[in-house]
Structure 1
């Protein structure tokens, strides 16, 4: 039976109303998790107003 551990990372967006993503910074966050053996299983945003994103949440898993 496979066993997994999970990790959730919250990435704050920038800008006056949010929604601005520093792509290189976000990619580095994902790559660093991958180098540590984490696999991305889900990624979603949290809305605040008229489609603007406050945070991006990335969920990772890896085998125990």
Structure 2
């Protein structure tokens, strides 16, 4: 039987007045919560448009 997976996408956006601040502890908290639920981080990709940064898209998977 072939393995089957489900996927989940989470976007973490920067905070602050200009949207440039990240809290590494908060990112770790979010990633660890998903890891504790059995999700494995597959990729992380920055969201930007015309040189402006809008956050990071995290894609997770877990086996069904």
TM-score over 0.5 for the alignment?
Answer: yes
The alpha-carbon deviation at position 23 of structure 1 amounts to 0.7
Q: Which residue of 1 aligns with 2:30?
A: 29
The alpha-carbon deviation at position 49 of structure 1 amounts to 4.7
Q: Which residue of 2 aligns with 1:53?
A: 53
Q: From the superposition, tell whether residues 47 and 17 of structure 1 become closer, same or farther in structure 2 (CA, over 3 Å).
A: farther
Q: What number of residue pairs does the alignment pair up?
A: 63
Q: Verify: 1:41 aligned to 2:42, yes or no.
A: yes
Unaligned runs of at least 5 residues, structure 1:
none
Q: In the TM superposition, what whole-angstrom CA distance separates every residue of 1:5-49 from its partner, at most 9, and x where no partner exists?
A: 000001111233323211100110000000000000000111145
Cα RMSD for the two superposed structures: 1.4
Unaligned runs of at least 5 residues, structure 2:
none
Q: Which residue of 2 aligns with 1:8?
A: 9
Taking structure 2 as the reference length, what is the TM-score of the superposition?
A: 0.85
